[in-house]
């Protein structure tokens, strides 16, 4: 695992954007796996700037997001569909039909999950997966547990995740308690993975993630067994790495 320790959030975001940009330049038909949350916002901003500067072309890029809150519709501002559109897609020349996010309003969730895995498989799989990390070590919404899901699934979010995510919602009661998340197969079959982490609240999870042990209670620790992971962290998130 290659680890880049950057001075601060801005530098982390820039480095991550450069890594994504290289992928887009090397293969303009790449399949990108995308994450939401607070951490990648700076990276998306940098990519949008590079696009406006004429440096990047997303017209043939395809994307699959890691997850979506269960129960939120596409129209909901707080949905990850809304997030992606607002923070990235509407600013670049990606084609709507080339972007995919699980449907949080699916009536038949099992069918939705199976169909999502199938679409990823048919596309040829993820070339570059972007990941954040939960303060509890989750990736996607693969939460700490005795057993981890291989396939896309409906997940009950942990209390820790619900409380971490509450910062994005005006009312605590509105914070979704379930999500549809890809499983570890999609993540681990990605050809390359970039993980971003920023801030002290991620330091314990990052330390555990590079510990030399795989622990299902730190789902991110499985990334140690992937052959092409780049970890881009700021100094605070890296502060507990030995
Ligand atoms: C989001 C996702 C999550 C987040 C993680 C960190 O699509 O899959 O794993 O990456 O919860 O979230 P932030 O960046 O808000 O700290």
Q: Residue 165 Cα, ligand 1 centroid: separation in angstroms?
A: 9
pLDDT tens string 9-18: 999 999 999 9
Q: Residue 4: exposed, middle, or buried by beta-carbon count in 10 A (0-12, 13-18, 19+)?
A: middle
User: What tokens were used for 209?
Assistant: 């993630």
pLDDT digits 0-9 by tens, 169-215: 989 899 999 999 999 999 999 999 999 999 999 999 999 999 999 99
Residue 153 is among the residues annotated as catalytic for this protein:
no
Q: How far is ligand 1, taken at its centre, from the CA of residue 63, in Å?
A: 17
CA atoms of 153 and 227, how far apart (whole Å): 25
Distance CA 121, CA 190 (A): 11
Ligand 1 atom nearest 36 alpha carbon: 7
**Domains of the chain as residue ranges with CATH:** 2-234 (3.40.50.1360)
Percent of the chain's residues with pLDDT above 90: 98
Residues ≥6 apart with Cβ < 8 Å to 174: 78
Taking only Cα atoms into account, the Rg of the chain, rounded to an integer number of angstroms, comes to 17
Average pLDDT over the chain, rounded to whole? 97
Determine the distance separating the centroid of ligand 1 and the alpha carbon of 134, expressed in angstroms. 6
Residue among 16, 33, 35 whose CB has most ligand 1 atoms within 8 A, to mutate: 35
The answer to whether residue 85 scores a pLDDT higher than 90 is yes
Backbone angles phi, psi at 62, to 5 degrees: -120, 150
| CA–CA dist 185, 101 (Å, integer) | 17
Which one of the listed residues 65, 98, 103, 136 is annotated catalytic?
Answer: 136
> CA-to-CA distance for 72 and 103, rounded, in angstroms?
8
Indicate if the pLDDT at residue 7 is higher than 90. yes
Token pair, residue 89, equals: 């897609």
Confidence of residue 235 (pLDDT cuts 50, 70, 90): very high
- pLDDT band of 88, cuts 50, 70, 90: very high
| Closest listed residue to residue 67, CA positions, set 164, 187, 181 | 181
Question: Which numbered atom of ligand 1 lies nearest the CA of 65?
Answer: 7
Ligand 1: which residues within 6 Å by Cβ?
35-39, 66-67, 132-134, 138-141
Residue 242: pLDDT band (50, 70, 90) is: confident
55 C-alpha vs ligand 1 centroid, how far in Å? 27
Give the model's pLDDT for residue 81.
Answer: 97
**pLDDT attached to residue 148:** 98
Q: Rounded CA gap, 7 and 68, in Å?
A: 31
Q: Tell me what the mean pLDDT of segment 112-124 comes to.
A: 98
Give the C-alpha separation, 177 to 164, whole Å.
12
Q: Is 86 a catalytic residue?
A: no
Q: What is the pLDDT of residue 54?
A: 98
- Using CA positions, which residue lies closest to atom 8 of ligand 1? 140
Global pTM? Answer: 0.97
Question: How sure is the predictor about 4, in pLDDT bands with cuts at 50, 70 and 90?
Answer: very high
Name the catalytic one among 6, 67, 127, 236.
Answer: 67
pLDDT digits (tens, 9 = 90+) for 20-42: 999 999 999 999 999 999 999 99
């Amino acid at each position: 695992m290659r680890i880049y320790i950057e001075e601060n959030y801005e530098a982390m975001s820039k480095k991550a954007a450069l890594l994504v940009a290289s992928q887009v330049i090397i293969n303009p038909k790449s399949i990108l796996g995308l994450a939401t949350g607070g951490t990648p916002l700076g990276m998306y901003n940098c990519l949008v700037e590079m696009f406006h500067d004429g440096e990047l072309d997303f017209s043939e890029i395809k994307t699959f997001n890691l997850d979506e809150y269960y129960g939120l519709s596409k129209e909901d501002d707080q949905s990850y569909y809304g997030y992606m559109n607002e923070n990235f897609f509407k600013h670049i020349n990606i084609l709507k039909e080339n972007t995919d996010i699980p449907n949080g309003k699916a009536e038949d969730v099992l069918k939705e999950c199976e169909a999502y895995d199938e679409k990823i498989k048919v596309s040829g799989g993820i070339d570059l997966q972007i990941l954040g990390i939960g303060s509890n070590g989750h990736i996607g919404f693969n939460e700490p547990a005795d057993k981890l899901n291989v396939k896309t699934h409906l997940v009950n979010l942990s209390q820790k995740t619900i409380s971490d995510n509450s910062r994005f919602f005006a009312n605590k009661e509105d914070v979704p308690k379930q999500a549809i998340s890809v499983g570890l197969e999609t993540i681990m079959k990605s050809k390359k993975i970039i993980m971003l982490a920023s801030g002290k609240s991620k330091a314990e999870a990052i330390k555990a993630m590079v510990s030399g042990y795989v622990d299902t209670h730190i789902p991110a620790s499985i990334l140690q067994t992937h052959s092409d992971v780049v970890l881009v962290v700021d100094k605070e998130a890296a502060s507990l790495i030995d």
